[in-house]
Structure 1
Amino acid sequence: MRGIRGAITVDANTEKDIGEAAQKLVGAMLAANNVCTEDIASMLFTVTSDLNAAFPAAAVRKMAGFDRVPMLCSPEIDVPGSLSQCIRVLMLVNTSAGQDDIKHVYLGGAARLRPDLV
């Protein structure tokens, strides 16, 4: 089992923007790592305190094959000066890939969180 990290910033605190960003991020994570939903053990989403219009997991559950994937949403720690309007995800997948083969995905303003991985 391996963890795949991802993050994306959201333009506005709306159900539509949160949902579209979550789906875009998860789709990019799947594509970058050649993962299918059957490989996913679970997903944990966190959101910054300024994103409360929707649950990212609710939008991802609407994607094909995600209705049976266990997902949970939680607030991110509100550290002063940290990146705002950000969705983060930890996807746990069953894979034979080595740790160095995993491609973590940081989109939009979230690219500044891990410049070493972008």
Structure 2
Amino acid sequence: MTWKVRAIRGATTAAENSVAAIREAVHELLDEIESRNDLDLSEVVNVTFSVTRDLDTVFPAAIARQRAHWQSVPLLDVQQMYVRTDLSFCIRCLIQFNTPDPTFEVRHVYLRQAQTLRPDRSLSEAGLRAATAG
């Protein structure tokens, strides 16, 4: 069996620059990534979070570290490069993980206003329900 490193991308937006809003957005994003990808956290190599410069009240990694089974996952926070036209209050993540399954279908997650970043990877609520039901 050959293991391979794969990656899951995700992004969302916080409602405002507050601990509560960032916490809500990070939990929602990670919940969706875990559920859509059947992610085994023991196989995660590392997770990098990036945030736009208008989010500076809490580290997303500190929020993720409080989740069940995330205490031993290597986490890193960085500031996203500033681009004048970038989405405000945006949180992005890159999860690298090992898998023995070469056919593992990665499902990237783009929520809230971050759906505009990758409309080809975003599912509407109706589309998500249809995709998970079938």
Q: TM tier, shorter chain? A: over 0.9
CA distance in 2, matches of 1:30, 1:97: 19
Query: What is the 5 A alignment of 1:1-118?
Result: 1-95=5-99, 96-98=101-103, 101-118=105-122
Give the CA RMSD over aligned residues: 1.1
Q: List gaps (5 residues or longer) in structure 1.
A: none
Runs of 4+ in 1 over 4 A off after TM superposition: none
Is the 1:20–1:59 contact (alpha carbons within 8 Å) kept by the matching residues of 2?
no
**Cα offsets for 1:11-66 (capped at 9, x unmatched):** 01011111121111011101111112112110000000000000001011110000
Q: Sequence identity of aligned pairs in percent?
A: 38
Larger Rg: 2
TM-score by length of 2: 0.84
CA distance in 2, matches of 1:107, 1:97: 27
CA distance in 2, matches of 1:56, 1:37: 17
CA distance in 1, matches of 2:32, 2:65: 16
Alignment length, in residue pairs?
Answer: 117
Secondary structure at 1:67 match in 2: coil
Secondary structure at 2:7 match in 1: strand
Q: List gaps (5 residues or longer) in structure 2.
A: 123-134
TM-score by length of 1: 0.95
Secondary structure at 1:6 match in 2: strand
CA distance change for structure 1 residues 97 and 27 in 2, over 3 Å: closer, same or farther?
Answer: farther
